[in-house]
Structure 1
Amino acid sequence: MWYISTRGISPRVDFEGALFSGYAPDGGLFMPEELPCLDRKTLHAWSTLSYKGLVKELCALFIGPELIPRDDLNDLIDHAFSRFRHKEVVHLSRLRDGLNVLELWHGVTYAFKDLSLSCTAQFLQYFLEKREKHVTVVVGTSGDTGSAAIESVQGAKNVDIIVLLPKGHCSRIQELQMTTVLKDNVHVFAVEGNSDELDEPIKAVFADVPFAKEHNLMSLNSINWSRILVQMAHHFFAYFQCAASLDTHTLPTVEVVVPTGAAGNVAAGCIAQKMGLPIRLVVAVNRNDIIHRAVQQGDFSLSEAVTPTLASAMDIQVPYNMERIFWLLSGSNSQATRALMEQFEKTQRLTLPKELHSKHCPLLPGTCVCSEVP
């Protein structure tokens, strides 16, 4: 499995190369060069798997045994989930009238990002020990990413982690989770500005390719492909738990509502759709509604300011994973994606071309949710 940049200029890399990168050198995000298509037989076989089993199958597809042999991969994933409080790792709670809630909060920091980061950290350690390397992880956070990333690598001898948190914009619990870790490899800094503003210098650092290589820099934000890969399992697990039957002539469709900030879970769902999973995605945002406006009106433009809400981890105006979605919906057109994103970065305003906006139907433009959180 090879990975290419959404902007089409950087050389392709394998999973290890994508894992150890932040942004691609050309400023884009890594995506699989080809997506596997899952037939009905495979979906039937996967429908009986546990959440851990689904993560193992998906990771085996996108990593390959030449990089991590299957037995090693299974052990890494088992170890990643060994500290989760629920025996099933995630759990589906069935409410009334066909409404279900997928519980993704059983990790150490209570954030859903514990799921993907625990696995990503295991993959990271596997390659670092094999290559006898050291890396420095740079993470910007709007709340839960920072604490989950710290938890996943704290105490590791071959990893240093630098976390930038927006001063006064994280919840008190999240801030304490980050600032009270006393391991020598953890370095946390409170910075002025919101999470979007602190992403700008991080992206500039990765754009300086010689500097990033010299200091072995990488990111554990959801710009990292490994994060998206593991989050795909959420959608497969939810589908198999909710679908009435897979024995019908046409596989039933399940509607999945995804609260989102940087659109990592949404990107994971779109990739699952492309692979053949019959889900419909409803994007739930707070007052920072750039994704809502993009889906409804084709308006991918910044508002005047980030609005603080109770859902501080979703207080994002630059959902960088939308670049992956634009690339998918444009038919993997790197040139078009690069032009769109360069215009957005230059002007902070973008009107999606009609042909691209019309393809946002997988995100249910007519029923997108915009919750008003005070």
Structure 2
Amino acid sequence: MRYVSTRGQTPPESFQDAVLTGLAPDGGLLVPETIPDVRDRLDDWRELSFQDLALEIVSLFCDDIPRSDLATLIDRAYRSFDHPEVTPSVQVGDQRILELWHGPTLAFKDIALQLLGHLFEYILEARGQSLNILGATSGDTGSAAIAGVRGRHNIHIFIMFPRGRTSRVQELQMTTVADANVHALSIDGSFDDCQALLKATFGDLEIKRGMRLGAVNSVNWARVMAQIVYYFYAGLRQREPVGFAVPTGNFGDIFAGWLAARMGLPVERLILATNENDILSVFFNSGVYRRGQVRHTISPSMDIQVASNFERFLYYLCNEDAARLRQLMADFAERGELCFEAGCTGRIDPLFQAIAVDAQTTLATIRDTWRSHRYLLDPHTAVGVAAANALAPGQLVICLATAHPAKFPESVQKAVGEDLAHHPAVDALVGKPVRSVELPADVDAVKAFVREHGIR
């Protein structure tokens, strides 16, 4: 399998190169040359363990790592999870809750980033190379990425987070890590500012090549690939097509679900759920993708106005026409808006339903779910559950639980009136020494810090 840029101006790359490259040199995102069709394998996959299913799916996208080595990497990646199924699902009322928070940082990002950390180490050791990872986080990506690579001798990681705009627990998970290869960068700005700094730094080919920069954000194809697995794992355990409700801000998680459907998983619908930062829900309901001001909400990991993975989806909407995609992205860069008109496929994908969920509804969903079912939701998961309640009432929907409620104790307590959101891993963070570096939202400041502290 080879990987091409959505903008069509760089040569195809191997899987290993795609993992290390992250963002394509022409500014686009890497996608596989073809999307595999697995409809004839679904029955064989139905009873596989999560790890065995991951091996089958990852092998389709990776032909330059021996299968036996892939199996070892996958096994190592998921040993750190506290549930034997890795991503179990439970029935809560009419819905299935797919628990994606059983990894070391209690967020769905662990599923991809634990594997990515092992892939990085494997590829770098084979090549005798080192890597400086630069990432931006609205909350969970940073801590999960740090957990995936902390202590690895051939990797340094620099994670930018918006100062004061992540939850207290999310920040502590990043700033209490003492390993010398970890650098938490507190940026004076929003998450969109952090993403802009990330793209601008990767766009400077001199520092990208000179410092061997790599990406852990969902711009990295391996992140999306790993997330495809749990859609198949949950969906194949149902005997009929199902819907998924996905809280999303950056479009990576739900894009993995869309790819699973393209590969042949029987998916009835994908419910895209945003908070008040509703650029994605507006697009799927109107065809207009318009940048706005980021609003600070109780679901901070979704406080995003420019979804970094959205370009991949647009590429497929444009029938893989890179020139058309380049024009759309140029329009967006110039005007802060793009309109998806006839000329690609002429309509938005009918698999999607989209809705924005406000804070009041989010809190009410947490409260009502606790009172009715004694099941505690974090605010991001509650956004997805509320969307499913609104768009598919009484129907079986698999709602993705993206974080453990203990990561957002203040919001949960506000909803239920009790201090219930705890987890031993979170409680252990309190009182630990913290370290981070404050930087302005300035690309030159970020570059200078990476040059000074990165591995060469």
Counterpart of 1:94 in structure 2 is 91
> How far apart, CA to CA, are the structure 1 residues paired with 2:16 and 2:288?
35
Residue 266 of structure 1 deviates from its aligned partner by 1.3
The equivalent residue for 1:191 is 187
Gap regions ≥5 residues in structure 2: 361-456
Q: Deviations over 1:102-143 (max 9, x none)?
A: 000000110100000000111111011111111000011100
Partner of 1:43: 42
Say if 2:68 is the partner of 1:71: yes
**Structure 2 counterpart SS, 1:11:** coil
AA partner of residue 359 (structure 2):
V
Shift of 1:357: 5.8
The letter for the 2-side match of 1:71 is S
Superposed structure 1 runs of 4+ greater than 2 Å apart: 354-357
Match of 2:288 in 1: 299
AA in 2 matched with 1:16: Q
Question: Residue 29 of structure 2 aligns with which residue?
Answer: 29
Task: Give the structure 1 partner of residue 159 of structure 2.
Answer: 163
TM-score under structure 2 length normalisation: 0.77
Which whole-Å deviations, capped at 9, do the CAs of 1:200-223 have from their partners, x for residues lacking one? 121111111232011100110000
- Which SS does the other structure have where 1:342 is aligned? helix
State yes or no: 1:313 paired with 2:314: no
Write the deviation string for residues 215-236 of structure 1: whole angstroms up to 9, x where unpaired. 1001100000000000001211
| Residue 113 of structure 2 is aligned to residue 117 of structure 1 | yes
Give RMSD over aligned pairs: 1.2
Instruction: Extract unaligned runs of 5+ from structure 1.
Output: 245-251
CA distance in 2, matches of 1:332, 1:278: 23
Opposite residue 44 of structure 1, the aligned amino acid is: D
| Equivalences for residues 1-374 of structure 1 within 5 A | 1-39=1-39, 41-64=40-63, 67-97=64-94, 99-241=95-237, 243-244=238-239, 252-279=240-267, 280-303=269-292, 305-354=293-342, 355-356=344-345, 358-364=347-353, 368-373=354-359
- Over 3 Å counting, the alpha-carbon distance change for 1:357 and 1:182 in structure 2 is farther
Contact 2:22 2:221 in 1 (8 A): no
Q: Which amino acid aligns with 1:23?
A: L
- Please state whether the residue corresponding to 1:106 is helix, strand or coil: coil
Q: Are 1:22 and 1:206, in contact at CA under 8 Å, matched by a contact in 2?
A: no
Query: Aligned partners of 1:227, 1:73: CA distance in 2, in Å?
Result: 15
Which amino acid is the alignment partner of residue 291 of structure 1?
Answer: L
Contact (CA 8 Å) 1:298, 1:357: kept in 2 or not?
no
Q: Distance in 2 between matches of 1:101 and 1:282?
A: 14
**Which secondary structure state, in structure 2, belongs to the residue aligned with residue 300 of structure 1?**
strand
Give 2:84's aligned amino acid: K
Higher mean C-alpha deviation, range 208-217 or range 110-119: 208-217
Work out the CA distance in 1 between the residues paired with 2:207 and 2:49. Answer: 42
d(CA) in 2 for partners of 1:357, 1:177: 44
How many Å apart are 1:356 and its aligned residue? 4.4
CA contact (8 A) 1:255 1:281 kept: yes
Q: Quote the Cα distance in structure 2 between the aligned partners of 1:346 and 1:356.
A: 24
Deviation at 1:269, TM superposition (A): 1.2
- The answer (yes or no) to whether the contact 1:154–1:185 under 8 Å persists in 2 is yes
Q: Would the aligned equivalents of 1:169 and 1:308 in 2 still touch at CA under 8 Å?
A: yes
Q: Could you tell me whether the CA contact under 8 Å between 1:326 and 1:356 is conserved in 2? A: no
Change (3 A) 1:88 1:122: same
Give me the whole-angstrom Cα distance separating, in 2, the residues matched to 1:43 and 1:331.
26
SS at match of 1:187: strand
Aligned-pair CA distance for 1:183: 0.6
Structure with larger Rg: 2
2:275 and 2:358 in contact (8 A); partners too: yes
Report if aligned partners of 2:22, 2:30 keep a CA contact under 8 Å in 1. no
SS at match of 2:304: coil
* Secondary structure in 2 matching 1:361: coil
Cα drift, residue 369 of structure 1: 2.5
Q: Deviations over 1:39-63 (max 9, x none)?
A: 2x30111111122222111111100
- 1:165 match: secondary structure: strand
CA distance in 1, matches of 2:116, 2:303: 24
**Separation of aligned partners in 2, 1:238 and 1:308:** 32
Aligned counterparts of 1:331 and 1:73: Cα–Cα separation in 2: 32
Does the Cα contact within 8 Å between 1:6 and 1:332 map onto a contact in 2?
yes
Q: Are the counterparts in 2 of residues 22 and 218 from structure 1 also a CA contact under 8 Å?
A: yes
> Which amino acid letter does the alignment assign opposite residue 370 of structure 1?
A
Aligned length: 358
Judge conservation of contact 1:138–1:220 (CA < 8 Å) in 2.
Answer: yes
* Deviation of the 1:95 alpha carbon: 2.3
The residue aligned with 2:408 is none
In the aligned structure 2, how far is the partner of 1:278 from the partner of 1:335? 32
